[in-house]
Amino acid sequence: MPADPVPLLDVRDLCVSVPANGSMIRLVENVSFCVNEAEIVGLVGESGSGKSVTAMALMGLIDSPGVQVSGSARFRGQELVGMAPRALRNLRGGDIAMIFQDPMTAFTPVYTIGWQIDEQIRAHERLSRRAARARTVQLLAEMGVPDPARTAQRYPHQLSGGLRQRAMIAMALSCNPTLLIADEPTTALDVTVQAQILDLLRGLRHSHGSSVLLITHDMGVVAQTCSRTLVLYSGRMAESGPTATLFARPAHPYTAALLDSIPPLYGTRPHRLPAIAGVPPTPQERPAGCAFGPRCAYVHATCLPAPPPLASIGAGQQAACVLPTEGKPLPPRATAQAMQP
Amino acid sequence: MTHPTPVLELRDVRKTYRLPHGQRLRAVDGISLRVMPGEMLGLVGESGCGKSTLGRCMLRLDDVSSGQVLFEGRDITTLSERKLRPLRPGMQMVFQNSTAALNPRRSIGDLLAEPLRVHPGPDGRRRAAATITARLHELMALVGLPASALARYPHAFSGGQRQRINIARALALSPRLVVADEPVSALDVSVQAQIVNLFAELRERLGLTYVFVAHDLAVVRQISTRVAVMYLGAIVECGGTDDVLHAPAHPYTAALIAAVPRPMVGAPPAMLLRGDVPSPVNRPAGCRFHTRCPQAQARCSAEEPQLRAIRPNHEVACHYPPGEENPPA
Ligand SMILES: Nc1ncnc2c1ncn2[C@@H]1O[C@H](COP(=O)(O)OP(=O)(O)O)[C@@H](O)[C@H]1O
Ligand code: SF4
Ligand SMILES: [Mg+2]
């Protein structure tokens, strides 16, 4: 049997805490996952579930006073947690790049996008202005930007949302990162443009050999893009596994309920959607046992004393729920969405 | 056979904004439609296509540039605000941003009581305090919030609860028509389903007529009996929900549906449209979709297709809808 490949990024028991009212609050608790070479991994969850905090912690970008990050995150064997800020800065924009929901956060309004991408390239490589611009124009073209030489001469606000997003991805790719962390990169875009950007992200594995950690709240985006998926709930892992397995046989009641609450585009239209009652708890008001307990249809006594540990379900799937260990796994999804009308 | 009066009728409605340098932005570019009692019309399209402007024109929250708006058969296009006022209770709006719509310094009870204090009751007289209090309790029960919520302030509520409060406020005066502009798009999926269900429940209990402005086609399907698809200020396709979503006749509708990332692994890959939506300031001549259309032909850039019925209750504005062997000359 071949040995498992060494993952590009290997995150174990990542915790992020911030001080509030005299005590430390865990925004992210024991998150573990890995990203392999040329793989797209999805990090899904509702707002406030800790997706962005996880990503920012990996990049050393949480600067709130008193923040504590513990656990381990190895990128090509190098430990990122506790790495000197300078070394981290070199890694960012080099081997690891990040893109955001709002491209305006990546660009300064007062310079043309071409100038900004040139500068990014020149910060990491000795290149003449002219050579850098040639690379910029080529990158923009690869990202599907029409008329890239002219587009490079425009200011961020002169571009449409879709073009700005492409320009930001071009800038992120300018230093040939092996890992791209994309935080809700298509959330602000229309579906037809979103489909183009997702297609672009899927292509990066082949065109640039890059891996992507894709952060999203949209189960549809995950299904169409990611080979493996991690579901976060209230700062903790609810479930992780191969995307196809997760969608066909979710092992955590939260994953199952979340999938069921999405209205179907085809097939029978339910009279009422199977909604999940209530709202996710904030980190401050997270209950003692399973964080999903108060909203879970299967909650029982063993769920309440302590957060259920991650149990291995098989074939790379794990769920933080007591049901599988008690021999009462969830049934496969009955309401899987019909493919076609 | 007598036809019931539409709750809302638009006749060739246009809304044009004048920009600097003499440019004109045609946000709504000649829209006609009827919404019948009890109907739930979903208005879909990408950002900037004019959905929200049209929604505001429907309720005369915006004045139209030309055309007519009829509410329950009455032309309200040019009514003065004073004449419009007695009609306002019958038509209400729910907005996307539940936070911005609620003044943070006023209690929920106070916010909900305001329309009841401002507008006279059905008997034409001011409502008594006790009547208002009773109505507030009714409204809370209607939207699934405890009466204790009335004494609290907006910040104490989650996004989904605030949207319930907004809905309660829109319902305070017992409207017959509710226009909801992206009422669930800012909510998390698990909460979105609750609010979608609430809209369905309210319609059954109160006999409301809805216009839903939304970009999420799956949500629209769950909530609408009829769908109108907008592109650059015009309706390009309109018909029964599943007729439009499952047998789209306009290539734009087909592309929009194909682009929805389905929550299932192994769904066929999206058919990709080229480019972004053009600017409504320079909308393409001929068919407004021809610059992105995968099946455009010479005629499409020259001649604007009109909305026409291809089946009963299914209209499309395309020269070459699928399944039509001999397109009209
Ligand atoms: N700097 C911070 N200080 C305190 N709390 C924070 C900070 N940043 C985020 N949070 C809280 O951490 C939780 C997770 O946030 P986030 O990672 O942004 O979630 P997501 O990206 O999944 O929407 C939220 O409750 C949020 O309010
Ligand atoms: S541990 Fe209990 S409460 Fe939590 S998801 Fe599993 S069954 Fe539900
Ligand atoms: Mg986030």
A99-117 pLDDT tens trace: 888 877 788 899 999 999 9
Strand, coil or helix: A39: coil
* Residue A84 DSSP label: -
| Ligand 1 neighbour A48 (Cβ under 6 A) | yes
| Residue A187, in any domain of the structure | no
Q: How far is the CA of A184 from the centre of ligand 3 (A)?
A: 7
A144 pLDDT exceeds 90?
Answer: no
Angstrom distance (rounded) from CA A150 to CA A97: 25
* Lowest pLDDT segment from A82-86, A316-320, B88-92: A82-86
d(CA A172, CA A180): 8
Enclosing domain of residue A280? 253-329
State how far the alpha carbon of B265 is from the alpha carbons of A174, A239, A243, A245, A336, in Å. Answer: 31, 17, 7, 9, 10
> Which of B14-18, B58-62, B183-187 is least confident?
B183-187
A335 touches chain B (CB under 8 A): no
Strands of A78-79's sheet in order across:
A23-35, A9-20, A68-75, A78-79
Token couple for A291: 């964080």
Number of domains in chain A: 2
The per-residue pLDDT for A155 is 94
The pTM for the full model equals 0.90
* Alpha-carbon gap, residue B310 to B293, rounded angstroms: 20
- Beta-sheet pairing, A211-216 with A40-44: parallel
Could you report the per-residue pLDDT of A241-286, keeping only the tens digit for each?
999 999 999 999 999 999 999 999 999 999 999 999 888 998 999 9
* Residue of chain B with shortest Cα separation from A219: B263
CA–CA distance, B241 with B249 (Å, rounded to integer): 13
- For residue A6, the model assigns a pLDDT of 84
Nearest to B315 by CA among B244, B209, B219, B213: B244
The three-state secondary structure class of A221 is: helix
Confidence category of residue A43, pLDDT binned at 50, 70, 90: very high
Q: pLDDT band at B329, cuts 50/70/90?
A: very low
Residues sharing a CB contact under 8 Å with residue B64, sequence separation 6 or more, in sequence order: B13, B14, B15, B28, B57, B77
Least confident of A40-49, A120-129, B65-74: A120-129
Q: How many CA atoms lie within 13 A of B108 on its CB side?
A: 27
The predicted structure's pLDDT at residue B325: 54
pLDDT band at B98 (very low <50, low <70, confident <90, very high): low
Neighbours of ion ligand 3 (CB under 5 A): A 52
Return the ∠ at Cα A282 (arms to A276 and A283), rounded to 5°: 130
pLDDT digits (tens, 9 = 90+) for B32-44: 999 999 999 999 9
The closest of B200, B184, B183, B180 to B192, measured between CA atoms, is B184
**Residue B194: per-residue pLDDT:** 94
Ligand 1 near A45 CB (within 6 A): yes
Locate the chain A residue with the closest alpha carbon to B255.
Answer: A192
| pLDDT tens-digit series, residues A299-331 | 999 999 999 999 999 889 999 999 999 999 998
Is A6 inside any structural domain?
A: no
Short-list B120, B123, B103, B122, CA closest to B111:
B103
Q: How confident is the model over B227-232, as a mean pLDDT?
A: 96
Question: Rounded distance, CA A125 to CA A132, Å?
Answer: 9
Q: Is the pLDDT of residue A219 over 60?
A: yes
Nearest residue of B to residue A278, measured between CA atoms = B191
Alpha-carbon span A83 to A71, nearest angstrom? 13
**Residue B3 pLDDT > 60, yes or no?**
yes
Per-residue pLDDT tens over the stretch B22-31: 888 999 999 9
Q: Which residues of B touch A146 (CB under 8 A)?
A: 275
B190 contacts in chain A (CB < 8 Å): 46, 257-258, 261, 275-276, 279-280, 295
Q: Examine the fold and report which residue of A123, A147, A176 is the final residue of a domain before the chain moves on.
A: A176
- The distance of B279 to chain A (nearest Cα, Å) reads 10
The pLDDT score that the predictor gives to residue A289 is 95
Name every residue whose Cβ is closer than 8 Å to that of residue A295 and which is 6 or more positions away in sequence.
Answer: A254, A257, A276, A277, A278, A280, B190
How many CB pairs lie under 8 A apart between chains A and B?
143
Cβ–Cβ < 8 Å for B93, B31: no
Structure tokens at B325: 């062997």
Q: From B199, which residue of chain A is nearest by alpha-carbon distance?
A: A272
Tokens 């004045």 sit at which residue? B63
**Which residue, A176, A198, A233, sits at the end of a domain?**
A176
> Does residue A191 sit within a domain?
no
- Does the pLDDT value for residue A341 go beyond 50? no
Answer whether B265 sits within 8 Å of A243, measured CB to CB: yes
Chain A stretch 276-315, residues whose beta carbon is closer than 8 A to a beta carbon of chain B: 276-277, 279-280, 295
Gap between the Cα atoms of B15 and A242, Å rounded: 50
Amino acid at B281: V
Q: Is residue A299 part of a domain?
A: yes
- A30 belongs to a structural domain: no
Best residue among A53, A54, A233, A279 to mutate for probing ligand 1's pocket (most ligand atoms within 8 Å of CB) is A53
DSSP, residue by residue, B225-244: SEEEEEETTEEEEEEEHHHH
Instruction: Give the number of other Cβ atoms within 10 Å of residue A181's Cβ.
Output: 26
Of the listed ligands, the closest to the CA of A27 is: 1
CA distance B237 to chain A (A): 17
Beta strands across the sheet bearing B8-18: B24-35, B8-18, B66-71, B74-75
A223 found inside a domain = no
- Per cent of chain B over pLDDT 70 is 97
Per-residue burial over A37-63, b = 16 or more CB atoms within 10 Å of its CB, e = otherwise: bbbbbbbbbbebbbbbbbbbbbbbebe
String of DSSP letters for B99-147 = TTTS-TTS-HHHHHHHHHHHS--TTSSPPPHHHHHHHHHHHHHHHT--G
Q: Out of B196, B245, B262, whose CB is closest to A220?
A: B262
> Given this model, what pLDDT does residue B48 score?
80
- What pLDDT, on the 0 to 100 scale, is given for residue A339? 52
CB A198 within 8 Å of CB B261: yes
A139 within some domain: yes
Confidence of residue B269 (pLDDT cuts 50, 70, 90): confident
Q: Mean pLDDT over residues B280-302, rounded?
A: 91
Strand B314-316 vs strand B24-35: parallel, antiparallel, or unpaired? unpaired
Question: What pLDDT was estimated at residue A334?
Answer: 65
Q: What average pLDDT does the structure give for chain B?
A: 91
Element (H, E) at B197: helix B189-206
Per residue in B101-136, pLDDT tens? 788 899 999 999 999 999 998 888 999 999 999 999
Instruction: Determine the pLDDT at residue A105.
Output: 79
Q: What is the ipTM of this complex?
A: 0.88
Residue nearest to atom 27 of ligand 1 (CA): A48
How does DSSP assign A140-198, residue by residue? Answer: HHHTT-SSHHHHHTS-GGGS-HHHHHHHHHHHHHTT--SEEEEESTTTTS-HHHHHHHH
Average of per-residue pLDDT across B248-257: 94
Q: What is the pLDDT, as a whole number, of residue A3?
A: 53
| Percent of chain B topping pLDDT 90 | 74
What pLDDT, on a 0 to 100 scale, did the predictor assign at position A2? 52
**% residues pLDDT > 70 (chain A):** 96
Q: Residue holding tokens 């964080």?
A: A291
Which one of A156, A176, A196 terminates a domain? Answer: A176
Q: Which two tokens stand for residue A48?
A: 């406030």
Contact call for residues A143 and A90 (beta carbons, < 8 A): no
- Which residues on adjacent β-strands are paired with residue B239? B227, B314
Q: Which pLDDT band holds residue A337 (cuts at 50, 70, 90)?
A: low
Give the CA radius of gyration of chain B: 21
- Is residue B93 predicted with pLDDT exceeding 60? yes
Length of chain B (residues): 329
Amino acid at B126: R
CA B261 to chain centre: 22
Cα of B60 from ligand 1 centre, angstroms = 40
pLDDT at A1: 47
Distance from the alpha carbon of residue A308 to the mean position of ligand 2, in angstroms: 8
Query: pLDDT tier at A335 (50, 70, 90 boundaries)?
Result: low
Tokens of B140: 């809370």
Q: Is residue A281 part of a domain?
A: yes
